[in-house]
A and B are shown apart, each in its own frame.
Chain A
Amino acid sequence: MTTLASILIVEDDPNDVELTLMALEEYNLANEVVVTRDGQEALDYLHRRGQYSNRSEGNPAVILLDLK
């Protein structure tokens, strides 16, 4: 059985995080949603290092982030 890829959110504003999570919830997705607060943390997740060194393998299905 294949596991569902995660959804990665990169956002430092807690309000935007909450609104995004609520919007995703409405679609009843079974994917794991991971919230990182900045680009560095997001890279740690992608490269499976730091606090994410123990996460299971595989890239997220979608990354949501805003770029300036």
Chain B
Amino acid sequence: MEQRRRREDEIRKLNQELGNRAADLEAINKELESFTYSVSHDLRAPLRHVVGYSEMLQRQASSLLDEKSQRFIRTILDSAKKMGNLIDDLLAFSKIGRSETRKTEVDLEQLVKEVVAEIGQDTKSRDIAWKIGALPVCKGDRSMLRLVVVNLVSNAVKFTSMRTQAEIEIGCVNRNKKEVEVFVRDNGAGFDMQYANKLFGVFQRLHLAEQFEGTGIGLATVQRIIHRHDGKVRGEGAVDQGATFYFSLPKAQESAERTADAP
């Protein structure tokens, strides 16, 4: 009896410590969020001036400058705009961490078709074979999940740009009662599985900027949103063999029952 009580005391104490630590972590995370936000917000003003004044200089003095000096101005502008894109992405990324999720039932199939139709508008010049499988209704924040799908689908479009016939498939696997795992598969550039752990990091890029443009925040955004939905992300691929990205989400109640009834 004595021993049992001592053990219970110990467990209580450990639980208390764990609770304290979780609270500390949450506070640190919040602080980091507001830090990221203010850094990126305050960085924009001076950058706007760099772009604004370079453009004025370009307009006002271009007839006086030789080709080399004009190139210098163009380089300043290009770099400043690139930095602007990075800051915008970082801001958007930090907003995802801070904003509340509004969870409703989301028809994934409809969402995916919507996104593909939208992105298809910009890729009319390319030969892309789209394949969209049946997708269930799940529970989540529609606008956030839309961002996940937009990021994954535009990645697939981007990394298949060198294929004369691109194939992009969106479907779902591993259906069970509570969870759905959606995948986006392409036959594009792929990646080395050795670096799979870097895929979802902020500003991590596995390809050269000259080869595929982008800031390196897309998959970090995907991961953050899916984590906020208590889901998981993963990627599979091989160099020049295409890539598949998976994300899991909790199913909506009704949809879960429907699947359970299926033979």
Which A residues form the contact surface with B (CB < 8 A)?
Answer: 13, 15-16, 19, 22
| Complex: chain A residue closest to B46, CB-CB | A15
Residues on B with C-beta less than 8 A from A19 are 48-49, 52-53, 56
Residues on A with C-beta less than 8 A from B56 are 19, 22
Contact present for B53 and A13 (CB under 8 Å): no
| Count, chain B residues at interface, CB 8 A | 6
Q: For window 33-81 of chain B, which residues contact chain A by CB distance below 8 Å?
A: 45, 48-49, 52-53, 56
Assembled-state Cα–Cα distance A19/B59 (Å): 13
A-B contact pairs, 6 of them (CB 8 A): A13-B45, A15-B49, A16-B45, A16-B48, A19-B53, A22-B56
Interface flags for B154-197 (1: CB within 8 Å of A; 0: not) read: 00000000000000000000000000000000000000000000
How many Å from the CB of B12 to the closest CB on chain A?
A: 45
Residues on B with C-beta less than 8 A from A16 are 45, 48-49
Residues on B with C-beta less than 8 A from A13 are 45
Residues on A with C-beta less than 8 A from B52 are 15, 19
Give the secondary structure class of A's interface.
helix
How many Å from the CB of A11 to the closest CB on chain B?
A: 11
Residues on B with C-beta less than 8 A from A15 are 49, 52-53
Assembled-state Cα–Cα distance A13/B49 (Å): 10
How many Å from the CB of A29 to the closest CB on chain B?
A: 18
How many Å from the CB of A9 to the closest CB on chain B?
A: 15
Residues on B with C-beta less than 8 A from A22 are 56
Closest 3 CB pairs of A and B: A19-B52, A15-B49, A22-B56
Assembled-state Cα–Cα distance A13/B56 (Å): 17
Assembled-state Cα–Cα distance A16/B49 (Å): 7
Assembled-state Cα–Cα distance A37/B15 (Å): 54
Taking A15-B53, A19-B56 as known contacts, 11 extra A-B pairs with beta carbons closer than 8 A to each other, sorted by chain A number, are A13-B45, A15-B49, A15-B52, A16-B45, A16-B48, A16-B49, A19-B48, A19-B49, A19-B52, A19-B53, A22-B56
| Complex: chain B residue closest to A22, CB-CB | B56
| Complex: chain B residue closest to A13, CB-CB | B45
| Complex: chain A residue closest to B60, CB-CB | A22
Assembled-state Cα–Cα distance A19/B55 (Å): 10
Assembled-state Cα–Cα distance A22/B55 (Å): 11
Assembled-state Cα–Cα distance A16/B47 (Å): 11
Assembled-state Cα–Cα distance A16/B51 (Å): 11
How many Å from the CB of B52 to the closest CB on chain A?
A: 4
How many Å from the CB of A67 to the closest CB on chain B?
A: 13
Most A Cβ at <10 Å: residue of B48, B52, B53: B52
Assembled-state Cα–Cα distance A22/B40 (Å): 26
| Complex: chain B residue closest to A19, CB-CB | B52
Residues on A with C-beta less than 8 A from B53 are 15, 19
Residues on A with C-beta less than 8 A from B48 are 16, 19
How many Å from the CB of B230 to the closest CB on chain A?
A: 33
Residues on A with C-beta less than 8 A from B49 are 15-16, 19
Assembled-state Cα–Cα distance A16/B45 (Å): 8
